[in-house]
């Protein structure tokens, strides 16, 4: 039975939004959905005589018995120590800048600059600084602190902390700018009221500033966790290559090496799936936090 004019119109109205969305969905499908599906499939397969065989969780079993992989996971977890450090440093610097110390505009730019530099550039520069015959050690020798001359990136004990320092140096600028932006939007009379109510510098920031920053601190924390888990490849690749030994091996580098150096694409895929899941949990958490803070800020 042919559709009446009004029925056709209704049908068109119904499918119209999907028609508009279709091109975007196709692009997203090709760029995101397809690779993810392919990745998950690969992680359950192994090549055998030129064919891909389904092997279930074998790849996952393999990686969890792999010393290097476990080391990489441990290193990623160790690097997470930098998250609270970054939060605290960003908080302190943001508050100082907010208090308008002399020349704060200059400091603000200076502190944000590292965040804008490419990781490779930062990595290379710090490699030169931290080399055994690098700038830092030369400087230490000049000022007579020879006992502090170390092979910063070449020692298994110091390589990871040094790497962490560079990551903090670069990433903390983002936190400062986030916190500062939030503080600038806090009603100024709130601080005035607290000062009159009897708050000194410490109490003002403890009772007013930090609570006002709570949602921003949560946001920066989660984003930093995600960064540390899945965005440190550049630093490691440029500065240490995962060494010495596997002292600075991280999961991302492990994926890269497995996939492109040792041609074990299925192992790389399995690790990627795990990393994706862990990161996904934090992204989900972040979205929930954002929903909650949006609800909190809603004024009836």
- Tell me if 138 contacts another protein by CB under 8 A: no
Closest approach, Cβ 138 to another protein, in A, equals 47
The nearer residue to another protein, 141 or 203, going by C-beta atoms, is 203
Q: Which is nearer to another protein, 195 or 290 (CB)?
A: 195
Interaction between residue 298 and another protein (CB under 8 A): yes
Told to check if 294 binds another protein by CB under 8 A, we report no
211 is a contact residue toward another protein (CB under 8 A): yes
Q: Is 187 in the site for another protein (CB under 8 A)?
A: yes
Pairing of strands 45-48, 51-54: antiparallel
Alpha-carbon span 289 to 268, nearest angstrom = 31
Q: Which residues pair with 52 in a beta bridge?
A: 47
123 and 238 in contact (C-beta within 8 Å)?
Answer: yes
The rounded distance, in Å, linking the Cα atoms of 221 and 116 is: 19
Residue number, 206 or 262, with CB nearest to another protein: 206
Shortest distance in whole angstroms from residue 221 CB to another protein? 18
Q: How remote is the C-alpha of 255 from its chain's centroid?
A: 17
Is residue 289 a contact residue for another protein (CB under 8 A)? no
- Residue selected from 138, 146, 197, 291 as contacting another protein according to rule CB under 8 A: 197
User: Could you tell me if 192 and 170 are in contact, meaning their C-beta atoms sit under 8 angstroms apart?
Assistant: no
Q: Are 160 and 249 in contact (CB under 8 A)?
A: no
- Cα 250 to Cα 63: distance, rounded to the nearest angstrom: 14
Q: Is 209 in the site for another protein (CB under 8 A)?
A: no
Local structure of 46: helix, strand or coil: strand
The least CB distance from residue 300 to another protein, in Å, is 6
Residue the block writes with tokens 């508009």 = 20
Give the residue, chosen from 81, 195, 218, 289, that forms a contact with another protein under the rule CB under 8 A.
195
What tokens were used for 286?
A: 């972040």
Q: How far is the CB of 289 from another protein (least distance, A)?
A: 16
With CB under 8 A as the contact rule, the residue among 54, 102, 189, 277 that binds another protein is 189
Query: Would you say 112 and 173 are in contact if contact means Cβ atoms under 8 Å apart?
Result: yes
Q: Report the interface residues with another protein, using CB under 8 A.
A: 187, 189-190, 192-200, 203, 207-208, 211-212, 214, 297-300
């Amino acid at each position: 039975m042919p559709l009446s004019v009004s029925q056709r119109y209704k049908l068109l109205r119904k499918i119209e939004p999907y028609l508009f969305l279709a091109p975007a969905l196709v692009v997203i499908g090709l760029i995101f959905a397809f690779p993810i599906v392919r990745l998950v499939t690969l992680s359950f397969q192994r090549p055998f005589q030129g064919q891909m065989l389904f092997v279930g969780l074998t790849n996952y079993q393999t990686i969890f018995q792999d010393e290097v992989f476990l080391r990489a996971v441990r290193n990623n977890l160790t690097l997470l120590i930098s998250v609270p450090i970054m939060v605290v440093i960003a908080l302190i610097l943001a508050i100082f800048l907010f208090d308008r110390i002399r020349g704060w505009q200059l400091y603000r730019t200076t502190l944000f600059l590292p965040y804008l530099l490419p990781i490779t550039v930062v990595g290379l520069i710090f490699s030169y600084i931290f080399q055994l015959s690098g700038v830092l050690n030369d400087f230490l020798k000049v000022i007579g602190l020879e006992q502090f001359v170390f092979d910063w990136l070449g020692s298994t004990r110091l390589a990871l902390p040094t790497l962490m320092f560079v990551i903090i140096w670069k990433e903390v600028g983002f936190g400062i700018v986030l916190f500062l932006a939030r503080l600038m939007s806090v009603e100024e009379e709130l601080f005035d009221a607290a000062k009159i109510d009897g708050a000194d510098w410490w109490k003002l920031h403890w009772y007013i500033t930090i609570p006002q920053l709570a949602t921003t601190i949560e946001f920066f924390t989660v984003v930093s966790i995600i960064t540390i888990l899945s965005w440190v490849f550049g630093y490691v690749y440029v500065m240490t290559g995962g060494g010495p030994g596997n002292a600075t091996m991280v999961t991302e580098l492990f994926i890269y090496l497995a996939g492109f150096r040792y041609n074990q694409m299925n192992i790389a895929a399995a690790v990627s799936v795990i990393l994706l899941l862990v990161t996904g949990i934090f992204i989900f958490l972040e979205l929930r936090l954002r929903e909650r803070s949006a609800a909190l800020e809603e004024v009836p």
